[in-house]
Copies of this chain bind each other. A is one copy, B any other.
Amino acid sequence: MSEFTAIRKIYNYPGLKTSDYERICSSHEKVIISKGDFLLREGQIANEYFCLEEGLMRAYANSYEGNEVTTAFFSPGDIIIEVASLFLRIPTKENIQALTDCNCWKLSFSDFQELFQNINAFTEWGRTWMARVLFSTKQRSLSMITDSATDRYLALLREKPEILHYAPLKHVASYLGITDTSLSRIRKYISSK
């Protein structure tokens, strides 16, 4: 069972028993992704989600003016998912791409539903997980309002420092809501202190 350590950490929840974990873990399928590959592309309907064990990914949308805007970075221990597309069965507006080679564990929507309907503690885990995601998404819009670009950069540096070694500046900049030029200047300013 030790091969499932990463998955178990993601699904860690008080009510889940060992037998539940066995069932949950064995529903996941190991997937190897190469740098640059896509887990999801604009226009598709997501049919699964992925638990990220190793590597880094990013999600981005194309803005009205045609620029890529990074909407999320994923690091090990994150669930890579496009909730709207998976749960509402609508075509996604996001692209999810590997920044490095990655190991993931895939769970199909039908297997998810099966677990969600039959394991009570999994249902609770799901609601809890969703509440946490919603909370951090709200925090993100709040941060866009209350924090300066510099503060947002420093926060990302604290939370996902690995990202800054692997994602090009413009991806990070669009995630922070600024241009790559500005981010370059912010970095210069910070390192000068």
Nearest-Cβ distance from residue A16 to partner chain B, whole angstroms:
17
Number of interface residues of A (CB under 8 A): 32
Question: B-facing mask of A112-140, CB < 8 A → 1, else 0?
Answer: 00000000000100111011111101101
Give the docked Cα–Cα distance between A177 and B143 (Å): 10
B-chain residues with CB within 8 Å of residue A133 when the two chains form the complex: 134
Q: Inside 8 A of A103's CB, which chain B residues have their CB?
A: none
| A142 adjacent to B83 (CB under 8 Å) | no
Q: Are A134 and B84 in contact (CB under 8 A)?
A: yes
A87 CA to B67 CA in the complex, in Å? 36
**Contact, CB under 8 Å: A146 / B63:** yes
User: For A138, what are the chain B residues with a Cβ–Cβ distance below 8 Å?
Assistant: 71, 84, 137
Give Cα A141 to B146, complex, Å: 12
Q: Which residues of A, 54-100, contact B by the 8 Å Cβ criterion?
A: 61, 63-65, 67, 69, 71, 83-84, 86-88
Asked if A145 is an interface residue, CB under 8 A from chain B, the answer is yes
Question: Are A144 and B145 in contact (CB-based, < 8 A)?
Answer: yes
Whether A174 sits at the interface, judged by CB under 8 Å, is yes
Q: Which residue of B has the minimal Cβ distance to A135?
A: B84
CB atoms of B71 and A128 under 8 A apart: no
Residue of chain B at shortest CB distance from A175 = B145
In the bound complex, CA of A64 to CA of B146 (Å): 8
CA distance A87 to B83 in the complex (A): 18
How far is the CB of A148 from the nearest CB of chain B, in Å? Answer: 11
A29-73 to B contact mask, C-beta < 8 Å, 1/0: 000000000000000000000000000000001011101010100
* Closest 7 pairs (CB-CB, A-B): A87-B131, A145-B177, A144-B144, A141-B141, A84-B135, A63-B146, A137-B137
Instruction: A84-B134, A84-B135, A137-B141 are known; give 4 further A-B pairs, CB within 8 A.
Output: A67-B146, A83-B131, A144-B144, A144-B145
